């Protein structure tokens, strides 16, 4: 198998670090980015020239463009781009401040958009490439107390599905990875919390109870899984990581269809009959 060149954001820890190590361990090359590049020194110590450590804040579009250009100059190409950088913002819709809402979208949505736009010219030139967008089961479901995180991931999913249709004729693949709960620090040190309002205590307690009952996945198991996704001849547009995603989302879509069907008479009424109206 020909080795691949990866560009991965958010590689200081979590999925980004595990996937970086999985790629490097099999001989692939990785442009590994993090806000603090000193966290990447152990990768350099272990894998040497296979890894290019880069300081990057994905909120900064100019910095994204420069990092991608540096990676291409260094390695000559980018075969796999992984938009992993992101965090969870906990808070009800009323609780979240303007600054918190904008910051959430800047990182989780716009950061992924900037990286995607930056790698596409090179992938078009190559006539190949694979863009991995790290979404969440929260990209196809929504729960109380984390609405802005959902908004960022639903936006990511929407632009990525359009992207997939646009770039398929160019030989470029797109996959949206939708992890369930894992034993990472996503809801711990990496998370941000809006200032709580007492009226929403019950909603927070219910969500906490639900999350405490969930069995987290092993992050290390996602390393071999992501390699299978990027090595597939025909990779999926969407793939769940973890066991919770499929049953949860099947139930969610069943509820949606039930509601749409129950209200379909209103849908039909709202259509009207413009042709008959114009004929009068």
Instruction: State yes or no: is 97 an active-site residue.
Output: no
Determine the Cα–Cα distance for residues 240 and 250; give it in Å rounded to an integer: 12
- Catalytic site residue from 4, 29, 153, 173: 153
Q: What is the DSSP letter of 146?
A: B
User: Which distant-in-sequence residues (6+ apart) come within 8 Å of 267 by Cβ?
Assistant: 260
Q: What is the largest CA-CA distance in the chain?
A: 79
Instruction: State yes or no: is 47 an active-site residue.
Output: no
- Catalytic site residue from 4, 12, 135, 152: 135
3-state secondary structure of 205: helix
Instruction: State yes or no: is 153 an active-site residue.
Output: yes
- Catalytic site residue from 4, 29, 47, 149: 149
User: Which distant-in-sequence residues (6+ apart) come within 8 Å of 268 by Cβ?
Assistant: none
Cβ–Cβ < 8 Å for 175, 237? yes
Neighbours of 146 (CB within 10 A): 22
Determine the Cα–Cα distance for residues 108 and 92; give it in Å rounded to an integer: 18
Short-list 53, 57, 12, 40, CA closest to 185? 12
So which residues are the catalytic ones? 135, 149, 153
């Amino acid at each position: 198998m020909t080795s691949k060149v990866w560009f991965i954001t958010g590689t200081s820890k979590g999925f980004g670090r595990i996937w970086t190590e999985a790629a490097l361990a099999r001989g692939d090359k990785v442009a590994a980015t993090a806000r603090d590049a000193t966290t990447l020194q152990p990768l350099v110590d272990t894998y040497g020239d296979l890894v290019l450590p880069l300081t990057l804040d994905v909120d900064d579009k100019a910095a994204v463009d420069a990092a991608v250009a540096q990676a291409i100059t260094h390695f000559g190409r980018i075969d796999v781009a992984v938009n992993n950088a992101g965090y969870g913002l906990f808070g009800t819709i009323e609780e979240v401040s303007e600054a918190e809402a904008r910051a959430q979208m800047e990182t989780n949505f716009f950061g992924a958009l900037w990286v995607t736009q930056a790698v596409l010219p090179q992938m078009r030139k190559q006539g190949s490439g694979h863009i991995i967008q790290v979404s969440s089961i929260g990209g196809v479901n929504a729960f109380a107390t984390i609405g802005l995180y959902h908004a960022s991931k639903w936006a990511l999913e929407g632009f990525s599905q359009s992207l997939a249709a646009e770039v398929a004729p160019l030989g470029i693949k797109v996959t949206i990875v939708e992890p369930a709960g894992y034993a990472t620090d996503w809801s711990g040190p990496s998370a941000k919390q809006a200032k709580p309002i007492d009226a929403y205590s019950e909603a927070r307690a219910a969500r906490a109870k639900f999350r405490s009952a969930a069995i987290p996945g092993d992050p290390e198991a996602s390393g071999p899984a992501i390699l299978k996704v990027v090595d597939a001849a025909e990779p999926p547009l969407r793939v769940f990581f973890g066991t919770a995603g499929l049953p949860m989302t099947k139930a969610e879509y069943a509820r949606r269809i039930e509601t749409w069907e129950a209200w379909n008479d209103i849908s039909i009424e709202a259509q009207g009959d413009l042709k008959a109206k114009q004929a009068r």
